[in-house]
Structure 1
Amino acid sequence: MKKEKLLFALDVDDGWPPVGAEGVWCERVDGNYRLVNTPFFIPNLALGDIFSAIPDEVNDHVFEFEVLKESGHSLIWVMNNKGIRTDVFIEVLNRVGCSVETLNQFSLMSIDVPPEVDMDALDPLLDIYEEEGLEYAFPVWRHPD
């Protein structure tokens, strides 16, 4: 299936996010889109979600979208302002079934948490690295508490 990049306009408030738009890869599904990578700044959208969006005619940016079918995936954003070594963290995340994208320019990670990930394996890992100084946001959380 052919991938295409969609640009999402972002609301910058007090300098955050540090960019005005984010490009994400999508596949076309019956006139809509399926997200095929994890976003760093787009809230309410996780890997595999199918959504409708109409890029703006002037600048081709998406200003609004609607999730039509949730994938069951959750999304964790990680900020590493303390320069913590994260290679082992990423390796263990991969081992428990998550995938990780990094945006080193802003010391950020975007973690995809598929529905089948065992939260009993993930939670202690997140706790350990939070104690080290990583900061988390959970813009899309679809796993049971």
Structure 2
Amino acid sequence: MSESSERPVSASGAKLFKVAFDLEAEHADWPPVSVERLWGEKTDVRSEIKVVNTPFFVRGIAYGDLIRVRPDHERRELVFESFTLESGHSTIRVVFLRSGLRESVERRLRDAGCSWETAGGFENLLAVDIAPTINYGELRQWLAERVDSGDLEFQESAISAIHRSQLNSTS
């Protein structure tokens, strides 16, 4: 199978670029990769990219966030340099601890208005995008109940100011 030489485009028609995020080990076996590559589209600001997918392992970055990149000529790729501006979206990771739960969890996420990504090799993992319009306080409470029952674990990777304020008002 041959790969197309054309660069993919976003829903808005903008050309997409892969950005490499070098990851530091948090534990002996986490994250399970040393680099995660996310899609992004250029903005009008030099060396600035808008992230257009949800990270699995990168912390502190969510869909729509603006980041600064630098070219790494040795690696022949764009590399994350710094965070510029949050989009209002949040990112969490959901890890299933028991089989048979995925459908009900995905239904609850869909009903809340979330979207998510999956990756081959990580069948028990969802990278979940939480849009700014979603009440994260309610969703988080539901997830915490699933954690208490031993069904799943979740990790808050990037929680926006909008969603943090919802947590503060529910405590």
Aligned equivalents of 2:153, 2:89: Cα separation in 1: 20
Instruction: Give the one of 90, 110, 129 matched to 2:127.
Output: 110
Cα deviation code 1:70-92 (max 9, x no counterpart):
10111111122433421121122
Q: Which residue of 2 is the match for residue 55 of structure 1?
A: 71
Which entry has the higher C-alpha Rg, 1 or 2? 2
Partner letter of residue 37 of structure 1?
Answer: N
Q: Which residue of 2 is the match for residue 139 of structure 1?
A: 157
Sort the Cα spacing of 1:20 and 1:94 in 2 relative to 1 into closer, same or farther, 3 A: same
Sort the Cα spacing of 1:76 and 1:2 in 2 relative to 1 into closer, same or farther, 3 A: same
Contact kept? 1:26, 1:35, Cα under 8 Å: yes
Shift of 1:69: 1.5
Q: Which residue of 2 is the match for residue 7 of structure 1?
A: 20
Contact kept? 1:77, 1:110, Cα under 8 Å: yes
Shift of 1:61: 5.7
Cα deviation code 1:39-65 (max 9, x no counterpart):
011111111001101132211362x42
TM-score normalized by the length of structure 2 = 0.75
Give the CA RMSD over aligned residues.
1.9
Aligned equivalents of 1:45, 1:120: Cα separation in 2: 19
Matched residue count: 144
Sort the Cα spacing of 1:91 and 1:24 in 2 relative to 1 into closer, same or farther, 3 A: same
Matched, 1:94 2:110: yes
| Greater mean deviation of Cα atoms: 48-57 or 75-84 | 75-84
Structure 1: give runs of 5+ residues left out of the alignment.
Answer: none
SS for the counterpart of 2:116 is strand
Contact kept? 1:9, 1:61, Cα under 8 Å: no
Shift of 1:118: 1.9
Q: Which residue of 2 is the match for residue 122 of structure 1?
A: 139
Compare relative contact order (CA 8 Å, sep 6+) and give the higher one, 1 or 2. Answer: 1
Sort the Cα spacing of 1:47 and 1:19 in 2 relative to 1 into closer, same or farther, 3 A: same
Q: Which residue of 1 is the match for residue 37 of structure 2?
A: 23
SS for the counterpart of 1:92 is helix
